[in-house]
Amino acid sequence: MSDELHLAGVLVHVRPDKLPRVASSIADIPNAKVHAVHPEGKIVVTLEGASVLAILDGIERMRSVPGVVTASLVYQHCEPLETMNEEVSDETHTPGIH
């Protein structure tokens, strides 16, 4: 089995009165990054991990933060680590479209 990188998008619903503290607590979770905070109590987070279990652990840690109503996985992707070192062309070409 090769080494992998798992990426996940998580939507966290929070009690609005707890929003700043919850957002800060989530940002302190290893490999979690807060991307957006909505004043009505929504936080958009990405998680990175070496396995599905690492992702699930991060989501469980979010759910355990006081003030969190729910944390829902909305996107998950996995790539072998070796593909992260491949060069990506910045040219896009669709046959028949110029």
Which domains does the chain carry?
4-84 (3.30.70.920)
In sequence order, which ranges of 1-98 are alpha helices (DSSP H)? Answer: 19-27, 52-63
Q: Tell me the per-residue pLDDT of 19-62, one tens digit each, with 9 for 90 and over.
A: 999 999 999 999 999 999 999 999 999 999 999 999 999 999 99
User: d(Cα 87, Cα 11) in Å, to the nearest integer?
Assistant: 31
Tokens coding 19: 């929003």
Checking if the pLDDT of 88 tops 70, the result is no
CB 7 within 8 A of CB 46: yes
Specify the higher pLDDT residue, 1 or 33: 33
Per-residue model confidence (pLDDT) at position 82: 75
Residue 59, Cβ density class (10 Å: 0-12 exposed, 13-18 middle, ≥19 buried): buried
Residues 14-22: what's their mean pLDDT? 96
Checking if the pLDDT of 1 tops 50, the result is no
Specify the higher pLDDT residue, 55 or 95: 55
Q: What is the mean pLDDT of the chain?
A: 89
